[in-house]
């Protein structure tokens, strides 16, 4: 059902909030130092773009890449009114948003931002998230693009009425569920917070018990390794660094570009920054099946260059869906899952939508999230690093920071009714 008042409010936000983004050369970024080693802000805060060299037997190859290094923990926080059971979200402009405004957490701020290194405005509602909170979860970010980046995910409960800013609005759970089916509207950080706090099932019967899961994971941890070391940006193999941008020689994965940003509703009205621009539409998909009257998710054990912890990902997670059949970066099993289930006519697709990556660091970055539920007679022969996990097992692994962000978000969408 369309909520007319809600969409009028969103339309008014798009009308009153301005955002002008212009691409500029990297060497034209004001207040940023761009050199052969790295790209960093003159304050030494915010974030840096560095180069790394990765060696791994998991991928059976070594490679170089640029990556974001942000050695600070940000705050992603949502206020929930326990009386009305509504969540306070904001219509926020980000330079990388493909549609200018998306619905973000009450507070979405890096430490540099809420510490006001930029000398700009205070972050509204910050005080609700700077004290100890029982609904707290430290979670990692995209570990192929961030190096060891984590954020505090918090739901802060209040029972009193508080003033609501013009760019903020209270949303019911039903409204958010409906908006999850709108393209590029619910921001990634909002989903990151909410998916970190899902209630367990009263009854849960996993086909792989905790003892087996621990033994299976330990075996893979001993078998595989991934090591990274810092490398000069201008010496990355298969990458070209120019005064304008950093690009892959075969136009794959992503590029690093510079942008100038102007906005009337951010902490400061104008700034420059580097930003990651992906090549094409990414894909994240879960295969789901019932075993023992319990819903299970087919997860992939994975190592990532920007994570110290070996994690679990979706059944399929790739940076580019287009021409997937001919991609050397997508494993044969993943290609089979895409063609046999996700893109096959007649498959039981229970979720299919395109949502954006966080627009502060990623420019027009989108992921096609899909979930396909198998029938009883549909079976899959699993590779050695794939395993069926129950809902409660995934919730436990989320608490241990062992579910990557794409899997966590998609799992949260599927189980949104169970969010606190």
What is the pTM for the complete model shown? 0.96
CATH, residue 157: 3.90.79.40
Is 312 inside any structural domain? no
Residue 267 · residue 123 · CB < 8 Å: yes
DSSP for 308-324, please give it: SS-EEE-SEEES--TTG
Token code pair at residue 274: 């580097």
| Domain boundaries, position 136 | 4-19+75-194
Is 139 inside any structural domain? yes
Is 291 inside any structural domain? no
From first to last of its 420 residues, what are the pLDDT tens digits of the chain? 568 999 999 999 999 999 999 999 999 999 999 999 999 999 999 999 999 999 999 998 899 999 999 999 999 999 999 999 999 999 999 999 999 999 999 999 999 988 888 888 899 999 999 988 889 999 999 999 999 999 999 999 999 999 999 999 999 999 999 999 999 999 999 999 999 999 999 999 999 999 999 999 999 999 999 999 999 999 999 999 999 999 999 999 999 999 999 999 999 999 999 999 999 999 999 999 999 999 999 999 999 999 989 999 999 999 988 889 988 889 999 999 999 999 999 999 999 999 999 999 999 999 999 999 999 999 999 999 999 999 999 999 999 999 999 999 999 999 999 999
Is 113 inside any structural domain? yes
Is 141 inside any structural domain? yes
Burial 350-389 (b: 16+ CB within 10 A, else e): ebebbbbbbbbbbbbbbbebbbbbbeeeeebeeeebbbbb
Say how far apart CA 254 and CA 365 lie, in whole Å: 10
- How many structural domains does the chain have? 1
Is 122 inside any structural domain? yes
Is 161 inside any structural domain? yes
Is 202 inside any structural domain? no
């Amino acid at each position: 059902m369309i909520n007319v008042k809600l969409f009028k409010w969103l339309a008014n936000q798009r009308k009153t909030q301005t955002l002008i983004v212009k691409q500029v050369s990297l060497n034209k970024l004001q207040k940023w130092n761009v050199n052969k080693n790295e790209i960093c802000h003159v304050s030494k805060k915010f974030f840096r773009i560095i180069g790394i060299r990765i060696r791994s037997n998991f991928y059976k190859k070594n490679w170089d890449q640029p990556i974001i290094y942000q050695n600070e923990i940000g705050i992603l926080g949502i206020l929930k009114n326990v009386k009305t059971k509504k969540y306070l979200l904001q219509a926020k402009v980000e330079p990388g948003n493909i549609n200018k405004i998306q619905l973000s957490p009450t507070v979405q701020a890096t430490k540099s931002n809420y510490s006001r290194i930029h000398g700009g405005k205070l972050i509204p509602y910050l005080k609700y998230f700077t004290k100890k909170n029982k609904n707290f979860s430290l979670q990692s970010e995209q570990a192929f693009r961030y190096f060891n980046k984590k954020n505090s995910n918090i739901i802060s409960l209040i029972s009193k009425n508080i003033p609501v800013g013009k760019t903020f609005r209270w949303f019911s759970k039903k409204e958010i569920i409906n908006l999850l089916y709108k393209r590029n509207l619910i921001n990634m950080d909002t989903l990151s917070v909410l998916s970190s706090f899902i209630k367990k099932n009263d009854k849960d019967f996993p086909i792989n018990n905790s003892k087996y899961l621990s033994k299976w994971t330990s075996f893979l941890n001993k078998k595989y390794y991934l090591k990274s070391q810092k490398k000069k940006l201008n010496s990355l193999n298969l990458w070209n660094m120019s005064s304008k941008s950093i690009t892959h020689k075969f136009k794959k994965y992503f590029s690093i570009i510079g942008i100038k940003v102007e906005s009337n509703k951010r902490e400061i009205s104008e700034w420059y920054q580097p930003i990651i621009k992906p090549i094409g539409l990414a894909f994240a998909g879960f295969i789901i099946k019932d075993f023992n009257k319990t819903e299970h998710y087919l997860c992939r054990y994975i190592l990532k260059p920007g994570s110290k912890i070996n994690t679990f990902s979706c059944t399929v997670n790739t940076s580019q869906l287009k021409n997937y059949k001919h991609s050397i970066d997508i494993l044969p099993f993943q290609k089979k899952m895409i063609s046999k289930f996700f893109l096959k006519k007649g498959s039981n697709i229970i979720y299919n939508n395109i949502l954006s990556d966080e627009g502060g660091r990623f420019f027009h970055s989108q992921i096609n999230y899909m979930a396909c539920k198998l029938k009883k007679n549909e079976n899959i022969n699993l590779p050695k690093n794939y395993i069926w996990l129950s809902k409660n097992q995934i919730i436990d692994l989320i608490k241990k920071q062992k579910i990557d962000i794409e899997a966590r978000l998609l799992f949260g969408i599927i189980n949104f009714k169970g969010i606190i």
